[in-house]
Amino acid sequence: MKFRVERDALADAVAWTAKSLPSRPSVPVLAGVMLRVADGRLHVSGFDYEVSNQVDVEVQADADGATLVSGRLLAEITKALPAKPVEIAAVGAHLELVCGSARFTLPTMPVEDYPTLPELPASAGRVDAAVFASAVSQVAIAAGRDETLPMMTGVRLELSGDTLALLATDRYRLAIREITWTPDDPEISVNALVPARTLADTAKTLGPTGGDVTIALASGGAGEGMIGFLGGSKVGGSRRTTSRLLDGQSYPPVRSLFAPSYASEARVTVSALVEVVKRVSLVAEKATPVRLSFSEDGLVVEAGGTEEARASEAMDATFTGESMTIAFNPQYLIEGLAALGAPTAVFSFNDPFKPAVITPADADGAAIPGFRYLIMPIRVGR
């Protein structure tokens, strides 16, 4: 194997592939990235039996072939190379890399020991890459991080006609974003539970490239099923990711947490509220709730800490309904506000002990449909 490639294209491809490699692989070859040259293209791939990544890059090939080399080491090297074309050749049990006056010789691993990457499932449809990336970033923050509850660590994709809904919850909050997409089958009705971290990394990478992302989903889309994503990269070439799905058969009916209507509503400037919550929380220990007191006069944010340390700050807010004090985990509140992607937050409540819903609004206060962030209140004494 011997080829010549642009430094940026190589560094980008290797960095993305190596990012998802296991830090403690069950077998040594899983720490490697496969470099395979065929028909004038370089295929860079990684696989850990759960997630597979593959990038195709156009190269000037002198000889086809394949080699397997440490992914993290190759990523560090390619990132540090000067901005010059890179020449790579497999020589015996080593990989030789030359870029300008820099030369590296790396040991390789047995190609024959590397597992075969899974095939991309059949295409289910296409979605705008930037819109998809935005939706995933909004929702993934609410996914759980407790690996003992794997079902909560995923983002649920609900594919129904031309609507693609993304849901995530860690039992203390719930995020939902609905977007339109172009299904291959207009009558599609499939759900899939995708590991949140994998989905977030994939969407973040494919989002800035423009164009569409193809969502590939095996029929059934549950349990041990597979999902795939296919898109482009910023420096050219195509990228594909496959991931095993989580078992979402018993995913809770979270949509029922939203009330059919709400008795009280408040409109608050997002940036101002985030700053106030951060300031007031300085006196509080981690996860100590902040209290939000809404009235016709506006909003007062309060927190109490140890040794009688307390803080409060008043700010402007438009409120309709009965005066109410409700308490939230400050980190969950800040993350929800940041995910809105809008200048104004609309809070909807029924009472201080039932879930509140935060939705985005424009500068004039008009609601922006598509995203809802539900947050559970915390019971506190005055």
Distance between CA atoms of residues 371 and 131, nearest Å: 12
Rounded Cα gap, residues 117 and 120, in angstroms: 9
Per-residue pLDDT of the chain (382 residues; tens, 9 = 90+): 999 999 999 999 999 999 889 888 989 999 999 999 999 999 999 999 999 999 999 999 999 999 999 999 999 999 999 999 999 999 999 999 999 999 999 999 999 999 999 988 999 999 999 999 999 999 999 999 998 899 999 999 999 999 999 999 999 999 999 999 999 999 999 999 999 999 999 999 888 777 899 999 976 544 358 999 999 766 567 899 999 999 888 898 999 999 999 999 999 999 999 999 999 999 888 778 999 999 999 999 999 866 778 999 999 999 999 999 999 999 999 999 999 999 999 999 999 999 999 999 998 888 899 999 999 999 876 5
Q: Are 42 and 59 in contact (CB under 8 A)?
A: yes
352 contacts 301 by C-beta, under 8 angstroms: no
Q: Output the pTM of the full model.
A: 0.90
Cα 196 to Cα 80, 98, 244, 365: the distances in Å are 30, 38, 12, 31
Q: Rounded distance, CA 5 to CA 78, Å? A: 11
**How do beta strands 65-70 and 32-38 pair?**
antiparallel
CA distance 66 to 69: 10
- Report the distance separating Cα 352 and Cα 378, nearest Å: 9
Give the pair of three-digit tokens for residue 19: 């990012």
> Which residue is associated with the tokens 């009965």?
322
